[in-house]
Amino acid sequence: MSIKELQKNIVRLKENNDVTILAHYYQDIEIQEIADYLGDSLGLSQIANRKTKTKYIIFAGVLFMAETASILNQDKHILVPEKEACCPLANFLNPNIVKEFRRAYPELPVVTYVNTTAAVKAESDVCCTSSNSVYIVKRIKEEFNVNEVLFGPDNNLAEYAEEKSGVKIIKIPGDGHCYVHSHLTLDKVKFTHNAHPNSKVLVHPECIQEVRDYADFIGSTAGMYNYVKKNYKNYKDFIIGTEKGLLDRLAADFPNNKFYLPSQNLICKDMKKNKLQTIEKILKLLDKNKSKKLVEYEVKVPEEIAQRALNPINKMLQYSK
C-alpha cells in the first residue's frame, strides 16, 4: 500500500471510531499530514485539555506527552503507536532527585520542564515548556516570594530562562540535556550560515549558549514556526536549529522559501519510532471492537499520581492563558 493509500485509510478509520490524532512537529511528515492537531508540547497539552471531544486520542510524540494527555483526560483512552518512544532528556530526573533538592532547599519552588515523567510532575510546583519557561519562572518566583527557583531537567533551557527572566536558577539534577539539540555546535551553525549568508538563524532554547547567542531568534518549535509565518515574505532563507520534523513542516507550508538544517544529527530517534502502519493497526483494532488488544498501546497514569501531577500542569496552563 502506498503512503497516500495508508493515510486515506487512517483518516477513514479515525472518523468512524471516535478518535483524535495529535502529533508533535518532530514526527515524520506523513504522520503530521494525518493529524487533527499538530503542535509543540504546550500547544498539544492545551488541545488535549480543551479541544478533544473524542473517547480515544492517538498521540504521536514521546511518552511524557501521552502521559500529560492522560493526566488532563482521565476519562479518555490515550493510545501511542510506540510505548518505547521516550524522551532521553526526561530520564535525567526522577522523583527522588526532586525530593533531595526539596530537602536541601525547602523554601524554593520546583519548576519542571514538561519533558519529565508524570511521577516527577507529581513532585513539582509548576511545569513549563520551552514556550513559556521565562514567564513561568518569573511568576512562580513572585508567588513564592523568593529570589531563586529549582529548575530541571534541561540545563540549557534553565540557563536561557535564568538569562531572560533575571531569576536565579538552581539546576536539578545539573547535567540534564537533550542529545539532539545540545549537540548542535556553533561551528556547524556558522558553516551553514556562511553557505547561506542571507538566511535568518532560528534555534531552540535547548541548544547550547554559544549557539543561542549567535541566533537571530530563539524559540520553541511553535515559536519558530510562527516566526517564519510572520517573516516569510521578508526573508527567503531560514536555518532551522531544531529537530528535522519542523523543517519538513515549514518546507511544506512555505514552498517558496528555503530551509536549511545546520546538522544532519538533528533527528530525535525516539520521535521517529512512531509509524503510520502502527497508527493504522491501532485504528483497525478499534474498528473491529478488539479493545482488549489496545492495552499494548494505552498510556494510563495511575490516578494518585495523575491527581498530584495535574496541579503543576494546571498552574502552567493558567499562567499561560
Q: Which residues bind ligand SF4 (CB under 6 A)?
A: 62, 87-89, 115, 178-180, 243, 268, 270-271
Q: Which helix (H) or strand (E) holds 23?
A: strand 19-24
Q: Which is nearer to ligand SF4, 180 or 283 (CB)?
A: 180
Extract the C-alpha cell encoding 224: 519558530
Q: How far is the CB of 91 from ligand SF4 (least distance, A)?
A: 9
Question: Is the peptide bond between 173 and the residue preceding it cis, with omega within 30 degrees of 0?
Answer: yes
Sign of torsion, CA 158 161 164 165?
Answer: negative
Least distance to ligand SF4 from the beta carbon of 118, Å? 16
Bridge partners of 64? none
CA distance 160 to 4: 41
C-beta closer to ligand SF4: residue 65 or 286: 65
Q: CA–CA separation, 73 vs 47, rounded Å?
A: 11
Q: Which is nearer to ligand SF4, 54 or 263 (CB)?
A: 263
The nearest distance, CB 225 to ligand SF4, in angstroms, is 15
Peptide bond into 153 cis (omega under 30): yes
Smallest distance from ligand SF4 to CB 290, Å: 30
Query: Which spans in the chain are helix H?
Result: 3-16, 29-32, 41-50, 63-72, 95-104, 118-121, 133-144, 155-165, 186-195, 209-214, 221-231, 244-253, 276-287, 303-319
Supply the minimum distance, in Å, between the C-beta of residue 220 and ligand SF4: 11
Angle (nearest 5°) at CA 317 between 316 and 321: 120
Nearer to ligand SF4, 236 or 272 (CB): 272
- 63 near 83, Cβ under 8 Å? yes
Closest distance to ligand SF4 from the beta carbon of 4 (Å): 28
Q: Give me the least distance between CB of 26 and ligand SF4, in Å please.
A: 6
Residue number, 2 or 264, with CB nearest to ligand SF4: 264
Nearest to 154 by CA among 119, 135, 134, 179: 179
Nearer to ligand SF4, 19 or 211 (CB): 211
Contact of 245 with 32, CB cutoff 8 Å: yes
Q: Please say which residue, 14 or 181, places its beta carbon nearer to ligand SF4.
A: 181
